[in-house]
Structure 1
Amino acid sequence: MRTVSSLRTIIVVEDSDEDFDTVSQAVHHAGLMVNVQRAMTGGDCLDLLGARSAIRPAVVLMDLNTPGVDGREALAAIKGDSVLKLVSVVVFSTSDDPRDRAFCYAAGANAYHVKPIRYPDHLQLLIDVLLYWLKRVTLPYLDGASA
Structure 2
Amino acid sequence: MNDQTHAPILVVDDNSEDFVALSRAFRHHAVPNPVVHCASGEQALEYLQGRGQHLAGPCALPVLVLLDLNMPGLDGRDVLATLKQEPALHVIPVIIFTTSANARDVEECYRLGANSYLTKPMAYRALEEKVGLLTRYWLGACELPHPA
TM range (shorter): 0.7 to 0.9
Partner of 1:8: 7
Pick from 114, 136, 144: which aligns with 1:139?
144
Partner of 1:63: 68
Gaps of 5+ in 2: 51-55
Partner of 1:79: 84
- 2: distance between equivalents of 1:133 and 1:26? 15
SS at match of 2:8: strand
Letter in 2 for 1:16: N
SS at match of 1:101: helix
* Cα offset, 1:90, TM superposition: 0.3
* Cα offset, 1:130, TM superposition: 2.1
The answer on 1:102 being equivalent to 2:101 is no
* Cα offset, 1:140, TM superposition: 0.8
* Cα offset, 1:129, TM superposition: 0.6
Q: For 1:121-136, what aligned pairs fall within 5 Å after superposition?
A: 121-136=126-141
Letter in 1 for 2:8: T
The list of structure 1 runs, each at least 4 consecutive aligned residues, that deviate by more than 6 angstroms after superposition, is none
Corresponding residue pairs, total:
138
TM-score by length of 2: 0.87
SS at match of 2:73: coil
Partner of 2:95: 90
Identity %: 36
The answer on 1:27 being equivalent to 2:26 is yes
Please tell me the root mean square deviation across aligned C-alpha atoms, in Å.
Answer: 1.5
TM-score by length of 1: 0.87
